[in-house]
Amino acid sequence: MDFAHGAPAAVRESRGHAGVGRARVVAVTNQKGGVGKTTTAVNVSAELARRGRRVLLVDVDPQGNATTGIGLDKAQITRCMYDVIMKAADVREVVRPTSIPGLHVAPATLNLAGAEIELVAALSRELRLRNALAGCLADYDDVFIDCPPSLGLLTLNAMSAADVLVVPIQAEYFALEGLGQLTQVIGLVREQLNPAVRIAGVVITMFDGRTNLAMQVVAEVERYFPGLVFATRIPRTVRLSEAPSHGMPIATFDPKGRGAAAYAALAEELLARA
Ligand SMILES: Nc1ncnc2c1ncn2[C@@H]1O[C@H](COP(=O)(O)OP(=O)(O)OP(=O)(O)O)[C@@H](O)[C@H]1O
Ligand SMILES: [Mg+2]
């Protein structure tokens, strides 16, 4: 695939989605907490923007970690994805630029926690996000949705809005716990809400190849998701955990480090696959 600088149009044409001039929507999801969803959503988004693609990072986690991790100050945010999902605000009204050219973010604040409850009684409660994003898909090449650690309505909204899913799995004991429930919910979403959605890939995160345990976990995940595990594994590095507190993606914070190299490779693999 060609990522030559100065050829963004060519890069855009090469994107994987069915060539209809609309963004491909990727939801980064796993109901397990702390597995690297936000780190993956932020860094793959930033990497694709650095390659000249127009990228929107949508934060649907009330924790707002993607929002702050990419450098926004939550205190400055008056309207967020809560207003889009619950108050029918236009997503373009809440979108903010970031320090990375080509990367925009649709932020989340704690207000969004209310949506998880309010959605229960709402009309088209699983399709709010899909409908809200429809109007801006022509403006981007890629949309990444950072999901909360639950299988609640915000995650169902993300899965319903997505073309493909990326599932981060931490290379640790109990890594497979909860995957049955996750695949069951993905099956239900395919049956009832979004028949075309599929897993683009499973990414092993916080990987330490020096331990037998990590190697065993990779083998088990490969058995569970045959053919779906990305060849790129994200190493455990302190730099990746430090970057969000500086509001920077790893490509800016530590461009020569292992984390930046890994997320660049993952972005490339995802483009080739999705
Ligand atoms: N490869 C890595 N190496 C070291 N630390 C990492 C790595 N990936 C993520 N972390 C750190 O691990 C913690 C959890 O990561 P992250 O926030 O991306 O997970 P998450 O799945 O989004 O969590 P949550 O479920 O709470 O939303 C964070 O402190 C993050 O900085
Ligand atoms: Mg997160």
Q: Using one digit for the tens of pLDDT, what is the confidence trace for 137-185?
A: 999 999 999 999 999 999 999 999 999 999 999 999 888 899 999 999 9
149: containing domain: 20-272
Answer whether 34's CB lies under 8 Å from 65's CB: no
Q: How far is the CA of 77 from the centre of ligand 2 (A)?
A: 19
Copy the structure tokens of residue 232.
């790129």
**Per-chain mean pLDDT for the chain:** 92
In a domain, 6, yes or no: no
In a domain, 5, yes or no: no
Copy the structure tokens of residue 69.
């991790």
pLDDT exceeds 70 at position 36 = yes
In a domain, 134, yes or no: yes
Q: What is the mean pLDDT of residues 70-81?
A: 96
pLDDT at 16: 40
Q: How far is the CA of 253 from the centre of ligand 2 (A)?
A: 19
In a domain, 10, yes or no: no
Q: How far is the CA of 8 from the centre of ligand 1 (A)?
A: 31
In a domain, 79, yes or no: yes
Chain-centre distance of CA 122, in angstroms?
Answer: 25
- pLDDT band of 231, cuts 50, 70, 90: very high
- pLDDT band of 20, cuts 50, 70, 90: low
pLDDT at 11: 39
In a domain, 235, yes or no: yes
Q: What percent of the chain has pLDDT over 90?
A: 88
Per the model's pLDDT, the better-predicted residue between 99 and 15 turns out to be 99
pLDDT, tens only, 182-214: 999 999 999 999 999 999 999 999 999 999 999
Look at residues 131, 128, 129, 126 and name the one whose alpha carbon lies nearest to residue 144. Answer: 129
- We report the CATH number of the domain holding residue 89 as 3.40.50.300
Evaluated on CA atoms 142, 148, 154, 159, the torsion sign reads: positive
Angle between helices 37-50 and 258-273 (to 10 degrees): 80
pLDDT at 14: 41
Of the listed ligands, the closest to the CA of 242 is 1
- pLDDT band of 105, cuts 50, 70, 90: very high
Answer whether 145's CB lies under 8 Å from 161's CB: yes
The b/e string for 94-129 (b: 16+ C-beta within 10 A; e otherwise) is bbeebebebbbbbbbbebbbebbeebeeeeebbebb
In a domain, 12, yes or no: no
Cα separations in angstroms, 33 against 150, 178, 190: 8, 11, 23
Of the listed ligands, the closest to the CA of 29 is 1
pLDDT at 4: 33
pLDDT at 238: 98
Say which residue the tokens 């044409």 belong to.
13
pLDDT at 10: 38
The residue contributing the CA closest to ligand 1 atom 3 is 236
In a domain, 55, yes or no: yes
For residue 260, the SS3 value is helix
Q: How far is the CA of 266 from the centre of ligand 2 (A)?
A: 18
pLDDT at 21: 85
Look at residues 24, 21, 47 and name the one whose alpha carbon lies nearest to residue 197. Answer: 24
Q: How many domains does one find in the chain?
A: 1
Of the listed ligands, the closest to the CA of 32 is 1
Q: What is the mean pLDDT of residues 217-239?
A: 96
Pocket test for ligand 1, best of 29, 31, 38, 59 (most atoms within 8 A of CB): 38
